Amino acid sequence: MISKRLQKLNPYKPGEQPNDRKYIKLNANENPYPASPKAAKAVKTVSNEKMGLYPDPESIDLKKAIAAMLNECNGVLVPADNQPQLPFSITEDMIFCGNGSDEVLSFVFYAFFDDDKPVIIPEHTYSFYPVYAGYYQIPLKKIPLNEDFSIDKETMVTTDSTGIIFANPNAPTGKSLSIDEIEQMLKSYPSDKVFVVDEAYADFSGHTVLPLLKKYSNLLVIRTFSKSMAFAGMRLGFAVGSPELINALTTTKNSFNHFPIDRICQAAGIAACADSAWYKKNCRKIMQTRDFFQSELQKAGWTVIPSQTNFILAGKKGKTGKEVYEAIKKEGILVRYFDIDTIRDYVRISIGTDKQMKQLLDIMKQL
Ligand SMILES: Cc1ncc(COP(=O)(O)O)c(C=O)c1O
């Protein structure tokens, strides 16, 4: 009854959502602040008549709004002083929208990676990539991280492959490669293979590789509204790249689901893009809370991997991640641990409000 294909699948496991009691959820890298009130207002503009009509399949107005926001904020909500200026204007034909960046990523695997050679990923990165490789039966090669948890750039680009994908900043390490380092990788990588940088957390790092799109037409950048734009419940993600790559994603979409972004999400997304001031403010707050929490934990004797994201990886000598997770859960806070060799001794903690992080700090200082 069940296909052989399905029997081989190993699905993604998201952070738990228990309902035995009310927890502070710091286990899914969600934004602790609400989405823009203007987005919430836009949701209510979709009338019941409009609900009966299919949405724009290409989300053109939404793509224009995303392009305008990226151009206005120089690629990321809070650009660092040394983030280069975008050397061109991003236009809507360079954008593809999907039902969460998870869907965009799924289309990326289908559209750009063949099964004759492996797709290259770092050993520790977003755990959905191996799931998609399994789903589309694309061989996968995981390149171990360096000892300091950074990505082994050279091996990534010199291994024979059908394509490359990694998150920058990476998850769950929270570490980034610089734009120059990624450009070095692109220079050494065949220009006829797609090089994908998943920038789900870029807004919290101050940096983006979007300026490199001018020189490298095989570069594809993936973004999500889920993290810095507090839209995890709306499901909206996008890719930015050359029109040729965007057209390939559109063909994939139109062979799978013509209308991935519903009317409500399109309206809310457009309003959210026009309210970048709201998100800049909250993004700054999260970055400040992260830096404070990180340094307090270090002072309390925890090992912390310096993070460029809205989460940190932290460990305490003599305790496994699972033990730390269980002790924190007893106190009503959820974090995440990974049953994987190199990071078994760490927990991943999403950055919440100052109040939530102070509460967690008190618990962690007792451990
Ligand atoms: C690196 C990375 N990419 C993509 C995603 C998917 O985000 P979404 O499907 O909510 O847009 C996540 C979610 O946690 C992530 O960590």
Per-residue pLDDT of the chain (367 residues; tens, 9 = 90+): 999 889 888 898 887 888 877 899 999 999 999 999 999 999 999 999 999 999 999 999 999 999 999 999 999 999 999 999 999 999 999 999 999 999 999 999 999 999 999 999 999 999 999 999 999 999 999 999 999 999 999 999 999 999 999 999 999 999 999 999 999 999 999 999 999 999 999 999 999 999 999 999 999 999 999 999 999 999 999 999 999 999 999 999 999 999 999 999 999 999 999 999 999 999 999 999 999 999 999 999 999 999 999 999 999 999 999 999 999 999 999 999 998 888 999 999 999 999 999 999 999 999 8
Inside any domain, residue 4? no
Contact 213, 72 (CB under 8 A): no
Q: Are residues 82 and 138 in the same domain?
A: yes
* Contacts for 349 with CB less than 8 Å, ≥ 6 apart: 26, 293, 311, 312, 313, 314, 335, 336, 360
Inside any domain, residue 146? yes
Q: Are residues 301 and 350 in the same domain?
A: yes
The two structure tokens encoding residue 132: 């998609």
The two structure tokens encoding residue 357: 């992080």
Inside any domain, residue 6? no
Is the minimum distance from the CB of 265 to ligand 1 under 6 angstroms? no
Torsion angle (degrees, nearest 10) of CA 238, 243, 246, 247: 150
Contact 97, 67 (CB under 8 A): no
Is the Cα dihedral 38, 39, 40, 46 positive or negative? positive
Inside any domain, residue 239? yes
Q: How far apart are CA 320 and CA 54, in angstroms?
A: 50
Q: Please tell me the predicted confidence (pLDDT) of residue 283.
A: 98
Is the minimum distance from the CB of 171 to ligand 1 under 6 angstroms? yes
In terms of residue numbers, what domain contains 182? 37-274
Q: Are residues 255 and 293 in the same domain?
A: no
Is the Cα dihedral 286, 289, 295, 301 positive or negative? negative
pTM of this prediction exceeds 0.95 = yes
Q: Are residues 307 and 324 in the same domain?
A: yes
Tell the residue number behind the tokens 């002790």, with chain if given: 327
Q: Which of 274, 303, 322 is the last residue of a domain?
A: 274
Is the minimum distance from the CB of 58 to ligand 1 under 6 angstroms? no
Q: What is the CATH number of the domain that holds 246?
A: 3.40.640.10
Q: Are residues 300 and 359 in the same domain?
A: yes
CA of 102 to the centre of ligand 1 (A): 6
Q: Which of 257, 274, 291 is the last residue of a domain?
A: 274
Is the minimum distance from the CB of 199 to ligand 1 under 6 angstroms? no
Q: Which of 216, 249, 274 is the last residue of a domain?
A: 274
Q: Are residues 199 and 308 in the same domain?
A: no
Q: Which of 31, 126, 129, 220 to mutate to test the pocket of ligand 1 (most atoms within 8 A of CB)?
A: 126
Q: Please tell me the predicted confidence (pLDDT) of residue 20.
A: 78
Q: Please tell me the predicted confidence (pLDDT) of residue 50.
A: 96
Q: How far apart are CA 126 and CA 230, in angstroms?
A: 19
Inside any domain, residue 217? yes
| Count of structural domains within the chain | 2
Is the minimum distance from the CB of 200 to ligand 1 under 6 angstroms? yes
Identify the CA nearest to 141 among candidates 157, 149, 172: 157
Q: Are residues 171 and 311 in the same domain?
A: no
Torsion angle (degrees, nearest 10) of CA 205, 105, 164, 29: 30
Three-state SS sequence of the chain: CCCHHHHCCCCCCCCCCCCCCCCEECCCCCCCCCCCHHHHHHHCCCCHHHHCCCCCCCCHHHHHHHHHHHHHCCCCCCCCCCCCCCCCCCCHHHEEEECHHHHHHHHHHHHHCCCCCCEEEECCCCCHHHHHHHHCCCCEEEECCCCCCCCCHHHHHHCCCCEEEEECCCCCCCCCCCHHHHHHHHHHCCCCCCEEEECCCHHHCCCCCHHHHHCCCCEEEEEECCCCCCCCCCCCEEEEECHHHHHHHHHHHHCCCCCCCCHHHHHHHHHHHCCHHHHHHHHHHHHHHHHHHHHHHHHCCCEEECCCCCEEEEECCCCCHHHHHHHHHHCCEECEECCCHHHCCCEEEECCCHHHHHHHHHHHHHC
For residue 102, the ligand 1 atom closest to its alpha carbon is 9
CA of 201 to the centre of ligand 1 (A): 9
Inside any domain, residue 188? yes
Is the minimum distance from the CB of 29 to ligand 1 under 6 angstroms? yes
CA of 325 to the centre of ligand 1 (A): 22
CA of 309 to the centre of ligand 1 (A): 12
Q: Are residues 240 and 301 in the same domain?
A: no
Q: How far apart are CA 358 and CA 296, in angstroms?
A: 10
The two structure tokens encoding residue 339: 């049953």
Q: Are residues 105 and 154 in the same domain?
A: yes
Tell the residue number behind the tokens 């309003």, with chain if given: 271
Q: What is the CATH number of the domain that holds 334?
A: 3.90.1150.10
Q: Are residues 283 and 269 in the same domain?
A: no
Q: Are residues 46 and 180 in the same domain?
A: yes
CA of 131 to the centre of ligand 1 (A): 13
Is the minimum distance from the CB of 232 to ligand 1 under 6 angstroms? yes
Omega cis (within 30) before 122: no
Is the minimum distance from the CB of 167 to ligand 1 under 6 angstroms? yes
Identify the CA nearest to 35 among candidates 358, 288, 281: 281
Inside any domain, residue 265? yes
Inside any domain, residue 218? yes
Q: Please tell me the predicted confidence (pLDDT) of residue 181.
A: 98
CA of 294 to the centre of ligand 1 (A): 22
For residue 226, the ligand 1 atom closest to its alpha carbon is 10
CA of 318 to the centre of ligand 1 (A): 31
Q: Please tell me the predicted confidence (pLDDT) of residue 21.
A: 79
Contact 211, 75 (CB under 8 A): yes
CA of 124 to the centre of ligand 1 (A): 14
Q: Are residues 248 and 349 in the same domain?
A: no
Identify the CA nearest to 356 among candidates 318, 309, 310: 310
